[in-house]
DNA sequence: CTAATTTGGTTTGTGACACCAACCATTCCG
DNA sequence: CGGAATGGTTGGTGTCACAAACCAAATTAG
């Protein structure tokens, strides 16, 4: 989890693994992926913090961009306990970013929907993240960016 | 950001950004990197949880593999407030994974050093992470893995 | 040499966030 | 219709992040 991470602006955190054994030349693929992952997380945390949000809250709002969702769906997508989602949604609701509405499907259930303020913040957040990561990859050629995207897609499909 | 994340075993969490707008073909490079980052984080969280640790604790121990460190050095490497590092080290000390020893350089300072138990756990953790990520990239050829490592290195250098 | 300032680390307070167990209202099943 | 399962909340607990304040030690300025 992540809570709001100030003070992580200029230097992304080094990864837990490989820190002491990182070659000062290129990294092997495992170290490279781990360090890259933390770097991307630091970008996400920075953008989240700029909006007074955590990474998990940004993810919650991102899920709700295209569709309303019930609590258990959110729990599944986020990989969290349902009680954690109760807390997340309550805090987002308090910020007027989401609203709980009764589900027509089941009187026990609620649908979580973005408010217009939540929609604006989510759009802005996604744009900033996209900008930051585009800047990160600007040193690569378009072909290299395409290769990276293709390799990432291949890895993600093996799951 | 991270506490101990049980219940995130089979399915890594989808990323906050791009979830609703992911093409069902390949991803663009931004979405690919974000989703890959969360996937790697989920692997790290899983291995950490298997050792009853958080990702941050795994990173702490990883930093200490090659050298002892003072609290402020750890704070710098981890990108955390010094009081957060006090808590992390206290909890790790309670587990007998690390020890605080007086610094010869400055009577105010302490050096944090791995215990033998901490060293064993850190070795095991790193091996498991390496195995899991190697499995993740097994669908790529050696050439593709090298390309991915090179691209990751290039991105990380631009910072 | 002394006083003032800075620093290393801890403590306290606060809020977020994660999980587990228990609960209640509702739905489903036999 | 009764029992079991489910959706979401609540309470409890522990981790984790930061800010502010504190104390002892080191450094700096005069």
Q: How far is the CA of A23 from the C1' of D2 (A)?
A: 67
Q: What is the mean pLDDT of chain A?
A: 84
Task: Flag whether residue A131 sits within 8 Å of chain B, measured between CB atoms.
Answer: no
User: Does residue A8 sit within a domain?
Assistant: no
**Which contiguous run of DSSP H or E holds residue B114?**
strand B110-114
Chain A partners within 8 Å of B31 (Cβ): 149
Q: How far is the CA of B7 from the C1' of C27 (A)?
A: 26
| Average pLDDT score over residue span B123-145 | 93
Task: State the pTM of this model.
Answer: 0.82
How many A-B residue pairs are in contact by the CB < 8 A criterion? 252
pLDDT on residue B26: 62
Alpha-carbon span A62 to A54, nearest angstrom: 12
Return the nearest residue to C7, CA–C1'.
B108
Domains contained in chain B, number: 1
Question: What are the helix (H) ranges across B23-109?
Answer: 29-50, 55-63, 71-78, 82-94
Domain range for A67 is 29-137
Q: Comparing C-alpha atoms, which of A42, A38, A33 is closest to residue A9?
A: A42
Q: What is the pLDDT of residues B3-43, one digit of tens each?
A: 222 222 334 444 444 443 333 456 789 999 999 999 999 99
User: Does residue A97 sit within a domain?
Assistant: yes
Residue A112 β-bridge partners:
A69, A100
Using alpha carbons, list the distances in angstroms from residue B59 to A50, A90, A114, A117, B2: 25, 31, 35, 36, 11
Q: How far is the CA of B3 from the C1' of D13 (A)?
A: 14
How buried is A35 (Cβ within 10 angstroms: 0-12 exposed, 13-18 middle, 19+ buried)?
buried
Residue A105 has pLDDT above 50, yes or no: yes
pLDDT on residue A157: 85
First to last CA, chain A: 22
- % of chain B residues with pLDDT over 70: 83
pLDDT on residue A54: 93
Chain A partners within 8 Å of B1 (Cβ): 1-3, 5, 41, 45, 54-56
pLDDT band, residue A2 (cuts 50/70/90): very low
Q: What is the pLDDT of residues A140-152, one digit of tens each?
A: 999 999 999 999 9
Q: Name the nt closest to A70 by C-alpha to C1'.
A: D7
User: Does residue B72 sit within a domain?
Assistant: yes
User: Does residue A12 sit within a domain?
Assistant: no
Q: Comparing C-alpha atoms, which of A84, A81, A39 is closest to residue A57?
A: A84
Task: Flag whether residue B52 sits within 8 Å of chain A, measured between CB atoms.
Answer: no
pLDDT on residue B137: 92
Cβ atoms of B18 and A62 within 8 Å: the answer is yes
Q: What is the pLDDT of residues A75-101, one digit of tens each?
A: 999 999 999 999 999 999 999 999 999
Cβ atoms of A79 and A107 within 8 Å: the answer is no
Alpha-carbon span B97 to B115, nearest angstrom: 5
Residue that is written with structure tokens 């989510």 in the block: A122
Residue A20 has pLDDT above 60, yes or no: no
- Nearest 5 degrees, angle CA A36-CA A25-CA B137? 45
Please indicate whether, in this complex, the C-beta atoms of B27 and A61 are within 8 angstroms of each other: no
Q: Comparing C-alpha atoms, which of A34, A4, A41 is closest to residue B84?
A: A4
pLDDT band, residue A12 (cuts 50/70/90): very low
pLDDT on residue B28: 87
User: Does residue B2 sit within a domain?
Assistant: no
User: Does residue B11 sit within a domain?
Assistant: no
Q: Comparing C-alpha atoms, which of A64, A72, A129 is closest to residue B21?
A: A64
| Average pLDDT score over residue span B77-98 | 96
Alpha-carbon span B39 to B35, nearest angstrom: 6
Which domain CATH number covers B105?
A: 1.10.10.10
User: Does residue B16 sit within a domain?
Assistant: no
| Average pLDDT score over residue span B72-101 | 96
User: Does residue B8 sit within a domain?
Assistant: no
Q: How far is the CA of B30 from the C1' of C19 (A)?
A: 32
Q: Which of A16, A153, A156 sits opposite B59 (nearest CB)?
A: A16
Q: Name the nt closest to B91 by C-alpha to C1'.
A: D15
Task: Flag whether residue B16 sits within 8 Å of chain A, measured between CB atoms.
Answer: yes
């Amino acid at each position: 989890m992540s809570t709001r991470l100030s003070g992580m602006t200029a230097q992304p955190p080094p990864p837990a693994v490989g820190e002491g054994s990182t070659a000062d030349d290129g990294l092997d693929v495992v170290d490279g992926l781990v360090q890259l992952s933390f770097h991307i997380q630091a970008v996400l945390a920075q953008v989240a913090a700029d909006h007074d949000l955590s990474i998990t809250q940004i993810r919650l709002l991102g899920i709700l961009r295209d569709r309303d969702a019930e609590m258990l769906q959110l729990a599944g997508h986020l990989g969290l306990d349902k009680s954690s989602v109760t807390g997340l949604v309550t805090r987002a609701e308090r910020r007027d970013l989401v609203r709980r509405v009764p589900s027509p499907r089941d009187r026990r259930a609620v649908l979580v929907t973005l408010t217009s303020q939540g929609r604006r913040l989510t759009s802005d957040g996604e744009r900033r993240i996209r900008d930051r990561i585009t800047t990160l990859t600007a040193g690569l050629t378009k072909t290299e960016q395409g290769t990276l995207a293709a390799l990432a897609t291949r890895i993600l499909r093996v799951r």
